[in-house]
Structure 1
Amino acid sequence: TDENNPTSFANIHCIPSTAPSPTTAVPYLATKCVDSVHHNEKSTKWFTPWGPNQCHKIRDFEEATVKKIEANNIVFAVHIPGPKIEMSPWFQFMLVVLQFEIAFKMYNQIDDGAVVTIDVGLAYRDDTFSDWTELAHSVEQRKLSCNFTAVKTFENEGRYYDCNLLPFMELGSVAHKYYLINIRLPVSERKKTNVGIGEIKDIRLVSIHQNGGFTKVWFAMKTFLTPSIFIIMVWYWRRITMMTRPPVLLEKVIFALGISMTFINIPVEWFSIGFNWTWMLLFGDIRQGIFYAMLLSFWIIFCGEHLMDHTERNNFSVYWKQVGPIAFGSFCLFIFDMCERGVQLKNPFFSIWASDVGTELAMAFIVVAGICACLYFLFLCFMVFQVFRNISGKRSSLPAMTKARRLHYEGLIFRFKFLMLVTLACAAVGSMFPFIISFVNEGHWHWGEHTVQVNSAFFTGMYGMWNLYVFTLMFLYAPSHKRYGDEQCGGGQGSNSGEDLQLTTTVTHVDGLTEIYKMTGKEAQE
């Protein structure tokens, strides 16, 4: 590696920092190997760019022309990782993007809508002496998106196009130490294969994987938070079952939110260190989707159950118009994820963005989900406004109540307002923080000799924030079993003896606050 290259593998891993970066990007330049087998025959040989049994290499295509080597006999080989380095299961996944280096030629320009056909194979091994074992093989197409910034004249021949990065490969696990990629660009004038794609000089790949240090921090957080949320969830449900009444809708929804949070927390990722579970990325997306769908549904039901003027409450069917778009948007994102990562379980080179039809389909799913999100946000804001307006306009009846009852209902109102403010703060942090850190030194801040990885802080901080949010929610809204007697309520001899005012989860089940809104001043005094 080059010490002067800031993107080199060594420099990326040797930055002293207080927290490991979530991912590392490692660039590779493909080596041009020569296949002696005739292009009409099928070669089963794997071409290694360096090390034992390395392939016969050429520097450039001019050398291939001099040696009369056809384009179909050139194999672009990339060994991942570099020399004297091993991959590790702690890397969790490997995403590879591709970029073509194409030189401008007046008589060999890139056609509009040009598509490159790639014959690619992926192999692995766990030592430097055994044979390569094929992991995947596919023939893929990628649409070129290149721009030539200079004037297209003979004087500018040899200058390179500015080509966009193309999706190439994604592995859901890194179970082996060494990986080998062989890329062929078959040329066929009769089939119009790889015709009109310009003069390709080199192929560059960028491999992105999760850092092992960040993986250990992430696993440690999951291992610590799982029992914390599970214990508070068991305690919360025990408090509900101790009540003499059945649980109300909001209590059930809060409990379901705790289950979804626990489902995310369970550190099943520990098994990915010892097993080649390529479906872990898809499984993680499903777990996050379930949690966020449950969280969005909870916010709607939480606000709806606090609208005192509504007579229909404590019934899930009342909220089907609001929860329906959430379920539909989540289903669209699930279908999109299955079309991408679901197919990649069999073919890691597949990309839904590689074709025009796939791109339009993916964009359709994203647009539909975005529309549902906008409608949800507007409706949620409207419900929050209604609840705050009702509470502010009708709490004037509280001073007419006895002290114990007034403190009880003021506590319920305070809990609601506090939770809504915390909710807005969490949502704001989750949506605004990524845009803020994108303008700050590419994701890290320098403090003296140390580097603070803001991306690491964001991922771990957001994960911890939602766990704390769910923990606080169950702690604040667990039913209390306190009993308020006649003396506390100020009832005297004429009041109902042993009046039981239970601090329930929601004010909708405590009919007292609803009665307050219907009372006149005289009735409230009585």
Structure 2
Amino acid sequence: MTGTVLENLSGRKLAVLISFLLLCQLVCFLIGGLVAPMPANAQNILGTVCKDTTKVKNDTTKWFYNRGKGKCESVDLAQSDLSETDIVFAFQMPTPRESETFDYSRWQQNLIGVLQMDIRYHSQMEIKPHSTLVIDARLAYRNKDDPDDGWKLYTQSVEKRVLDCDIEIKSEDYLYNCTAMPLFELGSLYHDYYLLNIRLPVDKPDMNTHIGHVQDMWVTVINQNGGFTKVWLSLKTIFFPGIVGILIWFWHRIHLLQRKPVLLEEMLLTLGIALCILDLPIEYLTLLFDLPFMLLLSDIRQGFFYASLFSFWVVFAGEHMLIQEVKTKNSLKKYWKHLSAVILGCVSLFIFDMCERGIQLRNPFYSIWVTELGTNLALSFIILAGISTGMYFMFLSFMIWQVFINISKKRQSLPAMCSVRRLHYEGIIYRFKFLMLATMICAAMTVIGFILGQVAEGQWKWNDNIELEYTSAFFTGVYGMWNIYIFALLVLYAPSHKRWPANETNADTQILSEEIEFNRLPIERSEISSLTSFINKATVD
């Protein structure tokens, strides 16, 4: 019969393999720390206050911007008696000074805008708590070859935002302290320059009546760093063919056997396919085409990988707990209780993504965070996913702890064996323990990265006071860890090409009795493969 590569691989070859994989892991961290820049850039842009001379308020061919004679008649609100209906706040991205030498690159992938208001205190125009701010936002674009006034409409929308401001000293020399508000999110950065015009309409009697005296507007634009994207896609380009190749090799080894794949092999195959989907560098298409759905697609791909990885860990630990009944055929249905936390977390994040980025495909100015109900709903989904992830990790740790207890019980029978056979089994047990330790480290890093990633994504949306700094080394290190870990599993749990004799003419009575004693321990059908195959080999050796 055949065993796995983990069982039959010599100690020297296994040491070389592990050393190579650890070296690859170190290289991934070093690439992120020494080569890649920060993952994202943030820039604060002060809006230029322009006098609105447009007679037709819905004219989308009239744009206000800093460059171009007569396009923006700049005014100072502190020294002007113009009302909000007569002004337009213009934001050119990048700024006019930077646009002479710098333009957005398609390598930067996406663009997020966050609005910040500077409102001066006035005794007769105090801001009421949680006032509703109505903005008429219009976004335009142009490219390098277009003239300075060749702005084209990208999207427009009239949106509501909750203006949450407070002030410690009520004096006209002080400004309100207002929280940041999500403004827009573009799933692709296809064009070179963008222009944002914001008006504060008062078409209705109660519209924008309790927002105080607006002095300035700031827009913080956040985009992925182009240098980081190049490093990230380079890693994907390297890992993708390697994982595809080892997956084909693994399936070929399974196909050569005269049996159907067991549950653990099926889950490992599914995990490999999920990693291939995640590694597929389809982001290269954004360099040629405008694909605003890329952020949503990336979330779906990563969600499928998380679901596959977390499910595999549950099955991986459960198949080695030795608690299944001998005559019970293992199937994924037996783990439905164990996988409920995974399903709950994935469904919560999928619904949140569809409510946020799904609608943003049609309206980039939409945000689920703009209303109290939407904010509570979004936070509920994220908190529920975070709690599910934490519970999952604790439950997985408990399962792995049970695995180690069962392995310790198995070792109690080893002293009764001959020295050669005992050393052989101890080597298998040590290999398995090392693999389980690597699983725990990978699980911990994945859960931490998952939770911190959700916090980092939402910090501009629910609380602008959160300050989190992430290094590229963490992102590239964890991503490399996924590929290296799954690569190792596909190699070590593939069926070995070594064959053992089927006759029992040379069976050793002493060794056979030792194996019978070893098998009298309370083990079940889901015995770990690294032990069962050697038990069978010993009976025919």
What TM bracket, shorter-length normalisation?
0.7 to 0.9
Q: Which sections of structure 1, spanning at least 5 residues, go unmatched?
A: 1-15, 438-452, 497-505, 517-522
Percent identity, aligned pairs only, is 43
CA displacement 1:262-317 (0-9 Å, x = unmatched): 11101111011010001111111111111111111011101110112321452211
RMSD: 3.2
Alpha-carbon shift at residue 182 of structure 1 (Å): 0.5
**After the TM superposition, which residues 109-128 of structure 1 pair with which residues of structure 2 at under 5 Å, given as runs?**
109-126=126-143, 127-128=146-147
The structure-2 alpha-carbon separation of the partners of 1:88 and 1:473, relative to structure 1 and needing over 3 Å to count, comes to same
1:310 alignment partner in structure 2: 324
**After the TM superposition, which residues 56-455 of structure 1 pair with which residues of structure 2 at under 5 Å, given as runs?**
56-65=72-81, 69-83=82-96, 84=100, 85-126=102-143, 127-129=146-148, 131-150=150-169, 152=170, 156-188=171-203, 190-311=204-325, 312=328, 314-401=330-417, 406=422, 409-430=425-446, 455=471
Alpha-carbon shift at residue 409 of structure 1 (Å): 4.5
Alpha-carbon shift at residue 512 of structure 1 (Å): 3.7
1:36 alignment partner in structure 2: 53
2:425 and 2:511 map into 1 onto residues whose CA distance is 19
1:141 counterpart letter in structure 2: K
Q: Which sections of structure 2, spanning at least 5 residues, go unmatched?
A: 1-32, 454-468, 513-525
**After the TM superposition, which residues 4-19 of structure 1 pair with which residues of structure 2 at under 5 Å, given as runs?**
18-19=35-36
Q: Greater relative contact order (Cα 8 A, min sep 6): structure 1 or 2? A: 2
1:493 and 1:162 map into 2 onto residues whose CA distance is 84
1:177 counterpart letter in structure 2: D
Asked if structure 1 preserves the Cα contact closer than 8 Å seen for 2:63 and 2:151, the reply is: no
Asked if structure 2 preserves the Cα contact closer than 8 Å seen for 1:48 and 1:79, the reply is: no
1:175 and 1:304 map into 2 onto residues whose CA distance is 47
The structure-2 alpha-carbon separation of the partners of 1:287 and 1:405, relative to structure 1 and needing over 3 Å to count, comes to farther
* Residue aligned with 1:423, SS: helix
1:108 counterpart letter in structure 2: M
Alpha-carbon shift at residue 324 of structure 1 (Å): 2.8
Asked if structure 2 preserves the Cα contact closer than 8 Å seen for 1:48 and 1:54, the reply is: no
Q: Mean alpha-carbon deviation: is it higher for 407-416 or for 318-327?
A: 407-416
TM score, norm. by length of structure 2: 0.80
1:263 counterpart letter in structure 2: I
1:148 counterpart letter in structure 2: I
Asked if structure 2 preserves the Cα contact closer than 8 Å seen for 1:250 and 1:314, the reply is: no
Residue 39 of structure 2 is aligned to residue 22 of structure 1? yes
Asked if structure 2 preserves the Cα contact closer than 8 Å seen for 1:76 and 1:184, the reply is: yes
2:415 and 2:367 map into 1 onto residues whose CA distance is 64
The number of equivalent residue pairs is 472
2:77 and 2:401 map into 1 onto residues whose CA distance is 68
1:49 and 1:37 map into 2 onto residues whose CA distance is 14
1:501 alignment partner in structure 2: none
1:197 counterpart letter in structure 2: I
**After the TM superposition, which residues 485-496 of structure 1 pair with which residues of structure 2 at under 5 Å, given as runs?**
485=501, 491-492=507-508
CA displacement 1:408-457 (0-9 Å, x = unmatched): 644543333112211222233445689999xxxxxxxxxxxxxxx96111
2:481 counterpart letter in structure 1: M
1:482 alignment partner in structure 2: 498
* Residue aligned with 1:109, SS: coil
**After the TM superposition, which residues 458-469 of structure 1 pair with which residues of structure 2 at under 5 Å, given as runs?**
458-469=474-485
CA displacement 1:372-426 (0-9 Å, x = unmatched): 2233223212211211111112321234446776566445433331122112222
